[in-house]
Structure 1
Amino acid sequence: MSDSQAYPQLRNDVLRRMGELGRAVPGTMQGFQALHDAAVREGALSPKMKELIALGIAIAVHCEGCIACHVHDALQHGASREEIAETVGVAVMMGGGPSVVYGSMAMAAVEQFQGPK
């Protein structure tokens, strides 16, 4: 991926492809959506914290589409640029050098969703 990756567009593409997959395997995708909704629901952890955790995992497992979606959702749940940056730091600790690369992608996504600092 290059620095010119458009994360808002990537998120839209991921959601569109998930919709297409939902038409092909509706039961599976309905189950996945129910799992997602249950996992990020308010509980002992807030939805914001859960999205930050998901973002850290997305960075560590090198999923660009997941990064786009979870940066967006973390911001929607009130995460700050600083909270996302610290999440990237934890992902780097867990994932090493490759997480540095994918963590920098997450910060680029923040800029695209929020605008420059």
Structure 2
Amino acid sequence: MSTFEHDHLIRNINSALSPFRKSQSEVMKGFAQLAQASMAEGAISAKHKELIALAIGVTQKCSGCIGFHTKALHRLGATRLELEEMLSIAVYMGGGPALMYSAEALSAWDKLVEAV
């Protein structure tokens, strides 16, 4: 289970990337445009796209991804049951390591819900 706070992790990532955003502004603008375009409502809803993104973050063992995409899912009105069903697929596809990061995603979710 995660031993850190995802809200702090998100702030730390944003803070650490601040100089990079300035020195590599065109790259970061391109990344932001890619993110915005790929996550926009379309044939697949924004919520379902965030579920997919979180599943990839879990299977790729990316704590920052877990923090950012769990926060987005909470904002988009996802339920814990939707989160858990998606995580079951991530575990199926990613095995034991995905199960460990699923615990991290559940912990991040619970902390977001408690903060509301």
TM-score range, shorter chain: over 0.9
Percent identity over paired residues: 33
Gaps of 5+ in 1: none
Aligned partner of residue 43 in structure 2, secondary structure:
coil
TM superposition shift of 1:12: 1.7
Q: Which residue of 1 aligns with 2:25?
A: 26
TM superposition shift of 1:10: 1.0
Q: Which residue of 1 aligns with 2:51?
A: 52
Cα deviation, 1:20-55, whole Å, max 9, x if unaligned, reads 321121111100000000011010011110000000
TM-score (norm 1): 0.92
Aligned partner of residue 31 in structure 2, secondary structure:
helix
Matches within 5 A, 1:1-117: 3-115=2-114
Cα deviation, 1:83-104, whole Å, max 9, x if unaligned, reads 1111111110110000000010
Distance 2:114 2:39 in 1: 26
Distance 1:66 1:20 in 2: 20
How big is the alpha-carbon RMSD for the aligned residues of Structure 1 and Structure 2?
Answer: 1.4
- Single out whichever of 40-49 and 16-25 deviates more from structure 2: 16-25
4+ residue stretches of structure 1 with deviation over 3 A? none
Gaps of 5+ in 2: none
Cα deviation, 1:46-68, whole Å, max 9, x if unaligned, reads 11100000000000000000000
Count of residue pairs the alignment pairs up: 115
Distance 2:42 2:90 in 1: 23
